[in-house]
Amino acid sequence: MRILVVDDEVKVAAILQRGLAEEGHAVDVAHDGDAGLAQALTGAYQLVVLDLMLPGRDGLSVCQSLRAAGSPAFVLMLSARGEIADRVVGLRHGADDYLAKPFAFEELVARIDAAGRRLPAARTTLRYRDVAVDLVAHQATRADKPLALTNREYDLLVRFLRSPEQTLGRDQLAREVWGMDFDPGTNVVDVYVTYLRKKLEGAGTRLIYTVRGEGYRLGDPDA
């Protein structure tokens, strides 16, 4: 299973990464809520181990944003707050399971194994027309030819592929790809959409269209 650990305690995150890797999982780490949300929204992870107390967005905010974006990832929330009321709040914000700190690593592994038995088979490839992204290999192609994308361009393409023929606003892209609130004074979203559009068009016809006053769309908005 591919797992994302989001915990601001660097040593704890490293221990979890190493231990879960020894259990046969592929594990990545993020150390704050904004980075964790941006990574989780790429759709590359089946399970997110999410600490409640994080710099930037806290775990509840991250979990809410994942559910609002339609993420199917299983969220296992970690917290030093182990009271029933705290667990209820976490579950109501979209967590699937809740584990109070301190915990035995064996219990964490058992809960992850139980989650894995309930999860559907992971979707490892996203496609739209002749564009494909292999989420495991982290490789994008068009007409079976590799696309040389930066990490941010790749994440942006993945987000478009998860909502083909739907208009995505600039604020939504900023939040879900960059993990930040949209600043009307910045054009970072427009710049990266332009970069991605040029690379896609270098291998075929236009796929990403501007929807005036709304945002961008993968697929002709007039079709």
| Residue that finishes a domain, picked among 94, 118, 142 | 118
Contact 60, 81 (CB under 8 A): no
The residue count for the chain: 223
How many other C-beta atoms lie within 10 A of the C-beta of residue 21?
12
For residue 33, give every residue at least 6 positions away whose Cβ sits within 8 Å of its Cβ, in sequence order, or none: 6, 54, 55, 56, 57, 58, 59, 61, 62, 179
Residues 64 and 106 in one domain: yes
Mean pLDDT of 86-114: 89
Q: Are 193 and 94 members of one domain?
A: no
- CB burial readout 42-61, b (16+ within 10 A) else e: bbbbbbbbbbbbbebbbbbe
Give yes or no: residues 113 and 45 share one domain.
yes
pLDDT grade for 47, boundaries at 50, 70 and 90? very high
> Does 145 fall in a domain?
yes
Do residue 93 and residue 169 come from a single domain? Answer: no
Cα 176 from Cα 106, distance rounded (Å): 33
Taking residues 149-156, report their average pLDDT. 92
The pLDDT of residue 92 is 84
Alpha helices in 31-187 (DSSP H): 33-40, 59-68, 84-92, 105-118, 151-161, 170-177
Indicate if 134 and 87 belong to the same structural domain: no
How many CB atoms lie under 10 A from the CB of residue 10? Answer: 10
Number of domain units in the chain: 2
Tens of pLDDT, residues 137-149: 889 999 999 999 9
Same domain, yes or no: 25 and 104: yes
**Are 132 and 66 members of one domain?**
no
Kindly state whether residues 114 and 213 are assigned to the same domain: no
Q: What is the pLDDT of residues 167-212, one digit of tens each?
A: 999 888 887 788 766 566 678 999 999 999 999 998 778 999 999 8
Using the structure block, give the residue that is written with the tokens 């559009």: 197
In a domain, 223, yes or no: no
Predicted confidence band of residue 48 (pLDDT cuts 50, 70, 90): very high
Read off the CATH number of the domain in which 141 is found: 1.10.10.10
Specify whether the CB–CB gap between 16 and 59 falls below 8 A.
Answer: no
Q: Which structural domain, as residue segments, surrounds residue 57? A: 2-118
Can you give the pLDDT at residue 135?
A: 80
Together in a domain, 113 and 146? no
pLDDT for position 6:
96
- Residues 111 and 129 placed together within one structural domain of the fold: no
Highest mean pLDDT among 44-48, 111-115, 160-164: 111-115
pTM value is 0.61
Q: Is 181 contained in some domain?
A: yes
- Residue 132 within a domain: yes
Q: Given this model, what pLDDT does residue 24 score?
A: 87
Claim to verify: residue 113 and residue 140 sit in the same structural domain: no
Tens digits of residue pLDDT in 111-134? 999 998 887 655 678 889 999 998
- For residue 76, count CB atoms less than 10 angstroms from its CB and return exposed for 0-12, middle for 13-18, buried for 19 or more: buried
Contact 94, 107 (CB under 8 A): no
The reply to whether 64 and 148 lie within a common domain is no
